Structure 1
Amino acid sequence: MFAASGGYCQNPECARELFIEYDKKFIHVAEMAHVFAANDFGPRADDALSKEERGAFENLILLCSLCHTKIDKAPDVYTDRIILGWKRAHADKLRSLFGVTVFAKRAEARAAVEGPLRENRHIFEEYGPHIEAAKDPESGAAERWKRKVLEKIIPNNMKVLAQLDANRHLLMGNEVSTIERFRQHVDDLQARHVHGYQEGASRFPAEMAELLRD
């Protein structure tokens, strides 16, 4: 959901940033909203939906707290058709923003993802939690790393995934598996730096370095 939002409220008339800096700390103001209610009594409830369908990606949208309150307080105004339209429009805008292109050649698709991957690698090497300064809690290294993750690494990861998903027809062999492991790495990174979970994260797949190479 955070990847699909691109860091902004998915109401196209709002587009508030969901990750903001406050008092030298990064916080998120995102709320996961249901298109059709999670139960039989909530806004836009549909008792024909199963529990799995109510919790599925297709039935969720990421909004700022104000927009979430609006759609649930006025479900007759903000119908399921309108909310799903927001989600589609937001996805189209992100594809345009990220410059997603369907390519005919593997080398072209590779070139489109090399830049963001290279930048992420450089940021990790310069600011990652393994550097010497990270051992000193007074150095500010941990806060700097978190800022880099939120402002650069996560958006770059979303650009890469968007390009790869648009060019799945060019993938060969184990490359689909590599991308899915990368997707889980991205999800774990977001869980730690956006949601604050302290669980261990999966490692960046080394095979990404050879992805789409002939």
Structure 2
Amino acid sequence: MTQQRLFASSAGYCQNPACNTPLFKDTGSEVVHIAELAHVFAANADGPRAPGELTEAERGAFENLIVLCASCHTKIDKAEADYPVELLREWKASHQAAISKIFGATKLASRWEVRKVIEPLLAENWSLFESLNPNLPYSENPESEIAAKWQGAMRQRILPNNRRILAMLDENREYMTAGEVQVLEQFRQHVDDLGLRHLTDVAPADQCLFPAAMTTMMVDE
């Protein structure tokens, strides 16, 4: 699931901190992605930033890949000397740190405060689901205008909201009951499956549904 992890870590933006271009573009009729998976060390022995002693598996591992827009990918490979391995690793690390900050993954003082953060995100996701209803027949028709809106909502709002919710809950697990921890992991699998379905070419065989108990997560008893 390397591709899924990479898209999740990018949060939908080019990982060059001087660029940060959104990788999903709404053309009006559909949402297209311009993301490219670039190698830190090249995928082959004669590519940019030659891999030296790396095995084939190591070249294709999460640690050796970075998500860029097409323009940045072209630049780092055509001007290899200006984009050494250390710089690309720094890009990726700083991007992930910035995304964590954006997602608001901070320690809070109580369950109530955590709930205050995640409740509007859950509400927005539910509102989008209700208004666009992906379970209707049009959802599988790529030419449907509503299907395109659903795909755009999923990539631009629902998936980022889900990552914010996960980040906040992970940072405040100490307030969770044992049952809530189980629900959190079910939600995590649901989010991962959504990412596979909507951000990659891989469709999960048995997609995990949204756990209903998330609607009462961190609600004071």
Identity across matched positions, percent: 45
TM-score w.r.t. length of structure 2:
0.80
Q: Where do 5+ consecutive residues of structure 1 fail to align?
A: none
Q: Please give the per-residue CA displacement for 1:71-108, whole angstroms capped at 9, x wherever unaligned.
A: 22233321121112111222232233333322242332
Query: Which residue identity is paired with 1:113?
Result: I
Match of 2:41 in 1: 36
Given the alignment of the two structures, is residue 212 of structure 1 paired with residue 218 of structure 2, yes or no? yes
Given the alignment of the two structures, is residue 67 of structure 1 paired with residue 67 of structure 2, yes or no? no
- Of stretches 72-81 and 26-35 in structure 1, the one that deviates more from structure 2 is 72-81
TM-score w.r.t. length of structure 1:
0.82
Label 1:137 to 1:20 Cα distance change in 2 as closer, same or farther (>3 A).
Answer: closer
SS of residue in 1 equivalent to 2:159: helix
Match of 1:78 in 2: 83
Q: Where do 5+ consecutive residues of structure 2 fail to align?
A: 1-5
* RMSD, aligned CA: 2.9
Q: Judge conservation of contact 2:7–2:67 (CA < 8 Å) in 1.
A: yes
Aligned residue-pair number: 214
Given the alignment of the two structures, is residue 108 of structure 1 paired with residue 113 of structure 2, yes or no? yes
SS of residue in 2 equivalent to 1:76: helix
SS of residue in 2 equivalent to 1:4: helix
Match of 2:3 in 1: none
Given the alignment of the two structures, is residue 188 of structure 1 paired with residue 187 of structure 2, yes or no? no
* Distance in 2 of aligned mates of 1:41 and 1:174: 52
Give the alignment partner of residue 120 of structure 1, picking from 102, 125, 136.
125
Query: Which residue identity is paired with 2:110?
Result: K
Query: Which residue identity is paired with 2:119?
Result: E
Q: Judge conservation of contact 2:104–2:167 (CA < 8 Å) in 1.
A: no
Given the alignment of the two structures, is residue 92 of structure 1 paired with residue 97 of structure 2, yes or no? yes
Q: Judge conservation of contact 2:51–2:59 (CA < 8 Å) in 1.
A: no
